[in-house]
Copies of this chain bind each other. A is one copy, B any other.
Amino acid sequence: MRKFKAEIFQALAHPTRIFIVQSLAQGEMTAGKISEVVGITQSNASQHLAILRNKHVVETRKDGNSIYYRLRDPLFGEMLDKMRQYVVAQAMVAMNHVAEDQDANASVDNVE
C-alpha cells in the first residue's frame, strides 16, 4: 500500500515528468506534441510517458496513428499546484536566509 503511493511519487519525481503533467493539466495532447512542447527527443518522451502510464498517472486514447495522453485524475494537477504554493513559500524563507548571510541582524527569530 505504501509501496503503491511511493510509486506514484516516484512517477512525479523528475523535472521532465512534472513538466509533462503540468502540460497535460491544461488538456490532452499527443505524444509528439508533448515531446515538442517539453523539448526532448521522441524516444525520451516516450520513455517518460511509459513510466507515467505504468504508474497510472496518465491514460491514453488512440486516434489514427496518434496517441493522445491525458491525466487520469485531476488530483495530480492539484498536487502540483499545492506543491507550487509550498515551493513559493519556501523560496521566501530561503531568501531570508540569504539576507541573514549578508546581515547577521536580519529579521528572523530562533536562529542561533
The docked-state distance in angstroms from the alpha carbon of A106 to that of B86 is 43
Q: From the candidates B5, B9, B19, B85, name the one contacting A2 in the complex (CB within 8 A).
A: B19
The answer to whether B86 and A73 have CB atoms under 8 Å apart is yes
Chain B residues with CB under 8 Å of A84's CB are: 5
Interface of A is mostly: helix
Residues of A in contact, count (CB < 8 Å): 32
8 Å CB contacts to B: which residues of A53-102? 56, 73, 75, 78-80, 82-87, 89-90
The docked-state distance in angstroms from the alpha carbon of A48 to that of B76 is 25
Q: From the candidates B2, B56, B75, B87, name the one contacting A15 in the complex (CB within 8 A).
A: B2
The docked-state distance in angstroms from the alpha carbon of A5 to that of B18 is 8
